[in-house]
Structure 1
Amino acid sequence: MAKPPPSTVLIVDGANVVGARPDGWWKDRAGAAQRLHESLMVAAIPHEVVVLVLEGAAKGGVRPGRDAHVRTVHAQGNGDDTIVAETEKAAAQGSRVSVVTADRILMGRVERHGAMIMSPTWLLGELD
């Protein structure tokens, strides 16, 4: 029996994506996270699984867990550390991993695990 091809996983740095659009998100971080989650649920993104990582007050907008193809993860501490851990886990399972962030330090950390970097601008374009 042939092994199925690895899945494609898109890991989204929620804070970085929300912060890329100056629409008043800082007044309601939970609401901004909820709007991002809702957009990810309906967008035709070319990845089988989307992992949305939330930290701080944004966690109040979306419960952790899986909704269809979107899995929301609440960072226990630093969001970047959670993104790296999710990248490591997906790569270890044989998935092709892309990470959406503009954080240069985070980019270097996830690229070490084979992740491809996508910009918040790309993702926002896919969601519009």
Structure 2
Amino acid sequence: MTATAQPMTLPPLGDGPDYTDQQIWLPQLIARSMSAGSAVIKDRTFTRCRLEGPAVILAAGGVNFDACDMGYSGGDIRNLLLRPVGPEKVIGAIAFQDCAFRECSFYAVGFTGSPAFIDNFLQVLGGSGS
């Protein structure tokens, strides 16, 4: 007997700019944004959403997290962070600009951004920078 592969079905995403109580697969969100001509997710508000990776969010400016569960850190919040090595770009990360995350939960998501973003992330969530 041969097993037939079943297509992966994803919950439909609204057009935004506001997303509330949705399960969002981040690769699907950026694919949709890129299909619309933008490699950056801009001017969106996410409220009580579950945002899933695997993915790395690049906070490109004006990104706010309010009362969010940033996800499993393995006991050290620094495990969720990646510091960019290059001075100007991060390739492969999903860029967000001027977005708000309110009471959201993140699963299998890492975070990156400017040194100020990373330092603030650590300060607010109780990690120690190095």
Q: TM-score range by the shorter chain?
A: under 0.3
| Higher normalized helix content (fraction of residues) | 1
Bigger radius of gyration among the two: 2
Give me the TM-score of the superposition, normalised by structure 2. Answer: 0.27
So what's the TM-score if we normalise by structure 1?
0.28
